[in-house]
Structure 1
Amino acid sequence: MHFFLRYAYRLFRLNNRLLAVMTVGFVLIGSAAAYALEPDTFGHWFNSLYWVMTTMSTVGYGDYSMKTIPGKALTMVLYLFGIGLLSLVIGKILEAFASIKKRRETGQLAYRGSGHVVIISWNKKAQAAVEELLSSDPGLEVLIVDENERLPYDHERVHYVSGSPTSGDTLERAGVGTARAAIVFADERMDDYQLIDGKTLLIASSIEEFSPDVHTTVEIMSEKHIKNFRHVKVNDFILSHDAVSSLAVRSALNEGTIDLYRQLISRQEGEDIYEVPRRSHWRTYREAFQALLEEGATLLADRGDLGINRKLDEPIPEGARLYAVCHPDTFRRLKEARESG
C-alpha cells in the first residue's frame, strides 16, 4: 500500500509536459508489447493500440482479449498503472479548464484579439454602454478594464482584465494597441469631482503613451476640466451630467420629444445616426440629400455641421464625412450598394 501511495504522490507532482510524455510513452510501449506477445490476436499494431486505450479507460468492449499468460500479465500491469495514469491526465485537463475559467473570471487572462472596444472603469453607465455595443454589432467583442476582483458582466463576447488602467501592463493585457476604440468612464467611487477627472486624465495619458492611435472617448464631470486635457490626445469628451439635464429640459419644453432623443442615442430601438458612404457622383449637398432620401435616409450633418440644410447647393468638400438618420436595414443597404458599386 505504501508503494502505491508513493507512486500516486509522485505522479501528482509531475509537471504537465512530463506527464503527457509519460502517458504517450506508456500507451505506445504497452501497444507494442501487446502486439509482440500476441500478434495473431490483434492482426495489426493499431488494434493493439485500440485495445490498450479501451483497457486503460476501463471501457473494455471485449472484442480483443489476451489469451496467453504473458499477455494477461501485461493486462494486469495496464490495470494497475495505466488506469491511474490516464485518470490523472484527465484530472489535469479538467484542472486546466477550471484554472482558465477562474483566470478569466478574475481578469488575469490577456486578450489576444483585435478590433474590440475597451471599456475602462465599471459602473451603471459602463454596463449600459456594454449592452449597447453588444446589440449594435453581433460580431463585436468588448473588454472591460477595472480593479474589481471578478468579471462584472458575464457574456461570451465580453472579456475582463483586472488591474490599474494607468498601468502599461494592464493596457497591454487588454490589447489596447489593437483595439478599435477605448471609452473611459468617470470613476464615481471617488467623491471629489476634481479627483475623478484627474484620474481620467491620468488614464487618458497612459492610453496615449501606450497606443496613441486608438480612438479615445472620455467622460468628465466638469466642462472646465477639458482644458487640462489639451496635452493629451482625446478624440471625444462626454460631459457626465449635462446630457441628462439637457434631455430633461427638452422633455419639459417639448412634450414627446424625449422618445426621439432616446432612439437617436440608442441602437437598440428605432432609427439611428450613421456615417453614410459618399458616392463619387454627389457634387452638392442637395444631390446627396435627395439620393439618400430616395433610399429612406435623411442627410443630417457633415461632421459636426448640422446646418447643411441651409447650404444645399454648396459643393461637398474633400474630406467630408456625411451623417444621416435611417433604419439599420437602410444603412446596410447603402453600405452594400457602395461596396458593390
Structure 2
Amino acid sequence: MRKFDGSFSRWPNLFRLLGVIAIFLFSFGMLIHFSEPKTFPTLYDGIWWAIVTMATVGYGDYAPTSDLGRAIGILLILSGAGLVSSYFASISAIAATSEQTYRQGKKKFNGTGHVIIVGWNERSRGIIEELHERNQRLQIVLIDESLTEHPLPLTNIHFIHGKATADAVLLRANIGQADRVLITADLRQNEFQTDMFSILTLLAIKGLKKDLFCLVEILTVEQRENAWRAGADGLIETNRFASDYMLKKLMGELDIAELLDDSNVSLGSPALKNEWVQLTYKELTILLLEEHTVVVGIIRNGKKLLPPPLETKVTSEDILLVMR
C-alpha cells in the first residue's frame, strides 16, 4: 500500500484526478446497485447513474426510490460536482500552460525535414517570410535567446528560446531530423564576438548531426577559415558584400540608372529611425541590407553625399536616399 501511495503521488495532477473520479464512480455505482438491486439490476447500471448524476446531466432513465438510495444520490451530487469542476479546470489549465510554453519557446519541436534559423533579426525575418511565401507547408524553427516571446505566434513557425550553442536547446529544435540550418550574425555584438558565437554554434550543430547542411553568416575575414574548419557548408560574408558594393559605388563602377530601370527597384527617402542616428554609413548600409534596402547616399544641409565616406555618422537632420 505504501508503494502504491508513493507512486500515485508522482502521477500528473490530471491523471490523479481521473483516478479519484473513477474510484468515486465505481464506489457509488456499487453502493446504489446493492442498495436498490431492482432499480439498478447490474453494476454497470449503477455506474451509469453515478456518471449522469455526478455530471449533473440527469437523464432520468434511472433514479433511486428508497430513502437510502436518495441519500446516496445527495452525497454523490455534493461531492462529485466539485470533482467534475476540478477536472475541467485542470484541462483548461493544461491548455493554457501548453500555449504559454509554446509562446515562451519552451516547447519541443517534433516535426521532421524542417529548416532551422538561428538568430532573430531583420534578415531572418525576411528569410522566414520569403520561405513561408514560397512553401507554406515548410516547417521552420527559429532559435533565439534575446526574445522572450514568439515573434510570429499566428504562423506555423516554431520558436525555441535559448542559446543555439547548448545541446539541450538544439535537441528541443529536433536537430537530428532537420534538413538544413542557417546561422545569422548577431549585429548587436562586436564582429569578433559575433563570429565566435556563430562558429561555436556551428560546432555544436555538427557535433549532434555531422552531415547536416549549415550555412553561416560571417562578418570578419579572419574567421572565414575557422568557419570552414568547423564544418560550414557555405558562408555568407555580409561585410565583404557591402564593402564591395560601396567601393564600386564610390568609384563610379555601379550604374544607379541601370538599376533604376528595373521595375522592381525604386529610389526613396524613408523616415529616419531613432536607432539609426549615430550609426556610420557603413553600419547603416549593412543594417538596411537585412530589409533588402540599399543606402545610396545622404542629403545633409541641402547637399547630396553620393556616397558619403564610410565612417560618416548619421545625424537626426539627415535625409537618406535608399534604393529598394
* TM-score normalised over the length of structure 2: 0.68
Give the one of 34, 37, 51 matched to 1:36: 34
The answer as to whether partners of 1:35 and 1:44 remain within 8 angstroms in 2 is: yes
Aligned AA (2:128)? V
Shift of 1:120: 0.7
Q: 1:196 aligns with which of 194, 197, 201?
A: 194
Match of 2:126 in 1: 128
CA RMSD between the two structures = 2.8
Instruction: Decide which moves more: 41-50 or 211-220.
Output: 41-50
Q: In structure 1, what is the equivalent of residue 150 of structure 2?
A: 151
2:261 is aligned with 1:256: yes
Aligned partners of 2:185 and 2:195 also within 8 Å: yes
- Quote the Cα distance in structure 2 between the aligned partners of 1:189 and 1:65: 72
CA deviations on 1:170-206 (whole Å, 9 max, x unpaired) are 111111111011111111222x222212211111111
Residue 115 (structure 1) aligns with: 113
1:248-327 superposed matches below 5 A: 249=254, 252-257=257-262, 259=264
| Cα gap change, 1:66 to 1:201, in 2 (>3 Å) | same
CA distance in 2, matches of 1:42, 1:133: 63
1:22 CA drift (Å): 1.3
| Change over 3 Å in CA distance of 1:232–1:29 after alignment to 2 | same
- The corresponding residue for 1:163 is 162
Name the structure 1 match of 2:82: 84
Separation (CA, whole Å) in 2 of partners of 1:14 and 1:154: 28
2:69 to 71, 87, 90: 71
Q: 1:128 deviation in Å?
A: 1.5
Deviation digits for residues 86-105 of structure 1, max 9, x if unmatched? 21122122111111111111
The one-letter code of the counterpart of 1:159 is H
CA distance in 2, matches of 1:183, 1:91: 42
Structure 1, unaligned runs of 5 or more: 1-10, 261-341
CA distance in 2, matches of 1:250, 1:151: 42
Alpha-carbon separation, structure 1, partners of 2:153 and 2:160:
13
1:51/1:252 Cα in 2 relative to 1: closer, same or farther (>3 Å)? farther
- What are the Cα deviations for residues 296-340 of structure 1, in whole angstroms up to 9, with x where unaligned? xxxxxxxxxxxxxxxxxxxxxxxxxxxxxxxxxxxxxxxxxxxxx
**Aligned residue among 79, 91, 95 for 2:93:** 95
Q: What is the alpha-carbon distance in structure 1 between the residues aligned to residue 87 and residue 161 of structure 2?
A: 31
Aligned to 1:225: 223
Q: Say which is worse superposed, 208-217 or 219-228, in terms of deviation.
A: 219-228
Bigger fraction of residues in helix: 1
Q: What amino acid sits opposite 2:180 in the alignment?
A: A
For the 8 Å contact 1:176–1:182, the answer to whether it is kept is: no
Contact 1:164-1:170 within 8 A present in 2 as well: yes
Distance in 1, matches of 2:119 and 2:75, equals 58
In the alignment, which of 15, 19, 22 is matched to residue 21 of structure 1? Answer: 19
Tell me how far 1:21 sits from its aligned partner.
Answer: 1.3
- 2:82 is equivalent to residue 57 of structure 1: no
Q: Of 237, 240, 253, which aligns to 1:239?
A: 237
- Bigger shift: residues 223-232 or 82-91: 223-232
Q: Deviations over 1:45-68 (max 9, x none)?
A: 544333322221222233432211
Task: Write the distance in 1 (CA, Å) between the matches of 2:128 and 2:26.
Answer: 51
Are the counterparts in 2 of residues 122 and 146 from structure 1 also a CA contact under 8 Å?
Answer: yes
Aligned CA distance change for structure 1 residues 251 and 62 (closer, same or farther; 3 Å): farther
Decide whether the 8 Å contact of 1:119 with 1:126 is kept in 2: yes
Cα distance in 2 between the residues matched to 1:127 and 1:46: 59
- Contact between 1:200 and 1:218, CA under 8 Å: does it hold in 2? yes
DSSP-derived class of the 2:151 partner = coil
Shift of 1:43: 5.6
Letter paired with 2:223: H
Contact 2:14 2:91 in 1 (8 A): no
The separation in 2 between residues aligned to 1:64 and 1:107, in whole angstroms, is 50
Identity of aligned residues (%): 25
Kindly provide the amino acid, as one letter, of the partner of residue 58 in structure 2. G
Matched residue SS, 2:260: coil
